[in-house]
Structure 1
Amino acid sequence: MIEMPTVDVVAGAAKRILDRLKSDHEFGAFRAASLEYSEDWQCFTGFPVVSLWKLETDAEPLFEEGLRALALKAAVFEATGDDQISEIAIAVPVDEMTHAMLAQSQLFARVAARCGVGIIHQTDQEHTDYRSGGYTHGCYRAAWGEPPARYWLDHEEVVRRRGVLADLYESIGMARSGREHAIDFAAVGA
């Protein structure tokens, strides 16, 4: 069994990784493309768990958090070489932002390759059970200080908020948190 690297090892590597990514000549294009992806950010259970969510004001700070999360995962991968172990717990809204970033696959792959960074993310292996006081929290704090609680929500709070959202969605006919509905658009008219 592979041991998790120490918080300090991950924090130091994550800061260096983040600096390398940001200094790449295509980083600005990657950032712009990730934020432009906003027209497709229609997830019902990711970003909406953020209290008083507003895309126009939350996108940029959440981009930074997504980048930091990917840097932490890359740092664990750098230390262990194990992509499964590197899927450390990430808060749901932050994970959702990483999906917007990873959608820029060709651009991000070029940036990461030039920087020598292994970008880790596989949906069936991701862990969105982030908790303050846990390993990811410790690594983040050692690298950049306290993570913004607005985005780094504990798993139990995300579950509670998803329940609130599910009830609201159900009240307007959106079943299973937007995974199905019974709207017949032909019957609604033009």
Structure 2
Amino acid sequence: MSQVELPAAHAVADVAKAVLETLKADREFPAFQAASLQYSDDWQCFTGFPVVSQWNLEADAEPLFEEGLRALALKAAVYELTGSDQAAEIPIAVPVDEMTHAMLAQAQLLTRIADACGVGIIHQTDQEHTDYRAGGYTEECYRLAWGEEPPPRYWLDHEEVVRRREVLAGLYASIGMGRSGREHALDFAELAAA
């Protein structure tokens, strides 16, 4: 498959602003926001949100929700301008991408909102790019759309995410969690008997 040329950043910015305003104006948006921010004890991620320094779900959820929306709007804008879902998978920072997963989990609400607004929401895990870097295409589009830099607390460069994940992996390993929480050798029956 041939590579699609990315549209000019100013064009993406204009479309992304309109997409974001349209999504937020939808009558079901408050329910979508509430559902996306409703974390239960079942929502655990060892390598996404925890790369944020001094991460606190209650304090960080709402600002990160806004960043997730902006990321989805940027991706939707690239899709609208190119018609290519692969091109639309622009680099997004890991914590922001993790929030988009929480948003995408509200499938019925997000689908109804997107359909009503005529917006193509793009995300496919095997095509996503979490190799965001400051100064790149995504940041340029973001800056032009919202007139500010992406918050560095959440928009972490890829290399910094890799470094922080290595720190986390070491800490997890020290308590018996292998492969950053993807496996462990804990026997709960033995632990309960102890």
TM-score interval w.r.t. the shorter chain? over 0.9
What is the match of residue 86 of structure 1? 88
Q: Cα RMSD between the aligned structures? A: 0.9
In the alignment, structure 1 residue 51 sits paired with structure 2 residue 65: no
Provide the aligned length of Structure 1 versus Structure 2: 190
1:37 Cα deviation (Å)? Answer: 3.2
1:38 Cα deviation (Å)? Answer: 4.6
Q: Give the Cα separation in 2 of the matches to 1:151 and 1:161.
A: 13
The superposition leaves residues 85-119 of structure 1 with CA deviations (integer Å, 9 ceiling, x where unpaired) of: 10000000000000000000011000000000000
Structure 2 residue runs of 5 or longer lacking an equivalent are: none
Deviating above 3 A after TM superposition, structure 1's stretches of 4 or more consecutive aligned residues are 37-40
1:128 Cα deviation (Å)? Answer: 0.1
SS in 1 for 2:54: coil
Q: Give the Cα separation in 1 of the matches to 2:37 and 2:187.
A: 33
1:145-184 equivalent positions in 2, closer than 5 A: 145-184=148-187
Structure 1 residues 133 and 38, CA gap change in structure 2 (3 angstroms)? farther
Q: Give the Cα separation in 2 of the matches to 1:5 and 1:15.
A: 15
Q: Give the Cα separation in 2 of the matches to 1:92 and 1:23.
A: 27
Q: Give the Cα separation in 1 of the matches to 2:131 and 2:18.
A: 26
Structure 1 residues 13 and 38, CA gap change in structure 2 (3 angstroms)? farther
What is the match of residue 124 of structure 1? 126
SS in 2 for 1:37: coil
Output the amino acid matched with 1:123. Answer: T
Alignment identity in percent?
75
Q: Give the Cα separation in 1 of the matches to 2:173 and 2:59.
A: 27
Structure 1 residue runs of 5 or longer lacking an equivalent are: none
The superposition leaves residues 105-155 of structure 1 with CA deviations (integer Å, 9 ceiling, x where unpaired) of: 011000000000000000000000000011001000111111100000000
Output the amino acid matched with 1:60. Answer: E
Structure 1 residues 70 and 38, CA gap change in structure 2 (3 angstroms)? farther
Structure 1 residues 138 and 43, CA gap change in structure 2 (3 angstroms)? same
